[in-house]
Amino acid sequence: MRKVFLLAALFAASGLQSQTVNLNTHFKNWKPRNIGPSGMSGRIVAIDGVVSNPNTVYIGAASGGVWKTVNGGLEWNPVFDEQPLLNIGSIAIQQSNPSVVWVGTGEGNPRNSLNIGEGIYKTLDGGTTWKKMGLEKTRNIHRVVIDPTNPNVVYAAAIGNPYGEHPDRGVFKTTDGGETWTKVLYVNDTTGCADLVMDPSNPNKLIASMWQHRRQPWTFKSGGAGSGMYITVDGGKTWKKLSKDDGIAEGPLGRIGIAFSRSMPTRVYAKIEATKNGFYKSDDGGFKWTLVNSDPAQITDRPFYYQEIYVDPKNENRIYDIHSTVTFSEDGGRSFQTLIPYSGIHPDHHAWWINPNDPNYILDGNDGGLGISRDRGANWTFDEKLPVGQFYHINVDNQIPYNVMGGMQDNGSWRGPAYTWTNGGIRNYYWDNVGGGDGFDVMPDPDDNNWVYSMSQGGSVGKQNVTTGERWYIKPPTIDINVKLRFNWNSAIAQDPFDTKTVYYGSQFLHKSTNKGAGLDNHLSRPYHEQS
């Protein structure tokens, strides 16, 4: 978000290339400025803290780089902005020397707006400088695991690129601090590693969740013969694939989340996507498993986007399951109850860190920013000021000062001034919310800039008058009851520049209104109601 408006200016100016204008010369001294909005943040996908000094924490954003705090979250500073991309998938701190931090790029939760990575990075000075350490072709690295007894030994778990078939996925290992890598676990060109955990008592013992999946623009397939749990006791030289004979669900399997108990390393948990999803437990370190819970109301919630579990470091029976909400169990997974409801700090949770020495201190990464708890989740401080919101689209109108507008991933659609005539800069209350849900295109009405069209997921589209508050819901209605309209996650809208009363909108058909949405396909629209 910090750089998006500068990029928009560069794209707008690209038309001058036909006049042989050197863009680097004309724009080399331009610096981006943050104009907001600062009332919401964006998707946090990775967290790691320094165990010996838990006020020092690194977090990774889906497309906003790496941020660091040294005072427990009071202030955050970007430490990855000079790298060629800001799409983060995983973070791991070398606890024996916290100045050494590894960052895997590319998201590990392959939603339809996935951010692709390009390799793994390492810093030796706490984030001041970084060096790329290879694995560029893996594209998406969801886990980095460091051997605590030998920090030159590092494992990287790559889900790969969900949009294509390629062999650079699975588990990779380095024994020389990242100078060279060996692929130690590979299944096929559509199966990547969705989770990788190390036995707290034995760094040569790891359990990997291999996940066969394939995303296409119109669909997503989770699961297949390549999915499964694999265990190694010799640092990845050999692996055993666990099966129904070992107590886990019969295949085909989907995504699996795994967690060791630090207080009792023989206790391992797994949340398994299968024909019948289940929560499993092992009491022999991961070799034999028992089904603990198969209640669909407690175990199922979009595994491709979540499917991560964590164990309280002091209590092997207390488990956290992070998904659209956060639930927890105090009886080893037999039952779960809500810790953070959907209406809590912000839904859709992807990252979780518990201080190993103080289980009361928990950090939560979600689609709206970062949650911090000092009392084991009873109360939360929601830090939503980090400028890592993800704009799908941006637009401007012709007012003076002109307004910038756009839709944000899971944070609605917004409109605010590019600058103001008064002192004090752009205040947060200058920004108007013009739509909910996942915001996409926001389009001003050139005849009256107070009216703004905005879209959200599933084809929802409305228009709002930001001065009067009047709102209308103008999604095209179904004309033929035998034909279901199919809208893209991020649909398309356009207004005719020569006839501004004409608006076009796309499903599998092209819809047209000749009265600014008051009647699409000759059907009257309904008054707009905010979509959750």
Mean pLDDT to the nearest integer, 16-30: 68
Helix (H, G, I), strand (E, B) or coil at 457: helix
pLDDT for res 34: 85
* Diameter of the chain measured on Cα atoms: 72
Interatomic CA distance for residues 475 and 437, integer angstroms:
15
Helix (H, G, I), strand (E, B) or coil at 91: strand
- Per residue in 55-82, pLDDT (tens digit) is 999 999 999 999 999 999 999 999 999 9
- Enter the tokens of residue 491: 């649909």
Which DSSP string do the residues of 32-89 spell out, in sequence order?
-------S----EEEEEE-TTSTT-EEEEETTTEEEEESSTTS--EES-TTSS---EE
- Give Cα separations from 338 to 325, 367, 492 (angstroms): 7, 18, 37
pLDDT for res 371: 95
Residue at 276: amino acid letter: K
pLDDT for res 521: 44
Short-list 347, 286, 289, 344, CA closest to 322: 347
Mean pLDDT to the nearest integer, 491-517: 94
pLDDT for res 25: 78
Contact 366, 43 (CB under 8 A): yes
More confident residue, 21 or 215: 215
Buried b (16+ CB within 10 A) or exposed e, 417-429: bbeeeeeeebeee
Contact 338, 325 (CB under 8 A): yes
Contact 153, 101 (CB under 8 A): no
Interatomic CA distance for residues 216 and 324, integer angstroms:
23
- Residue 77 exposed, middle or buried by CB count within 10 Å (0-12, 13-18, 19+): exposed
Short-list 212, 220, 155, 221, CA closest to 189: 212
pLDDT for res 22: 77
Interatomic CA distance for residues 145 and 249, integer angstroms:
26
- Per residue in 247-290, pLDDT (tens digit) is 999 989 999 999 999 999 999 999 999 999 999 999 999 999 99
- Per residue in 206-245, pLDDT (tens digit) is 999 999 999 988 889 999 999 999 999 999 999 999 999 9
127: which residues sit within 8 A by CB, 6+ positions away? 58, 66, 68, 79, 80, 101
Q: Where residue 20 falls among pLDDT bands split at 50, 70, 90? A: low
Helix (H, G, I), strand (E, B) or coil at 349: strand
Mean pLDDT to the nearest integer, 369-384: 93
Q: How far is C-alpha 459 from the chain's CA centre?
A: 22
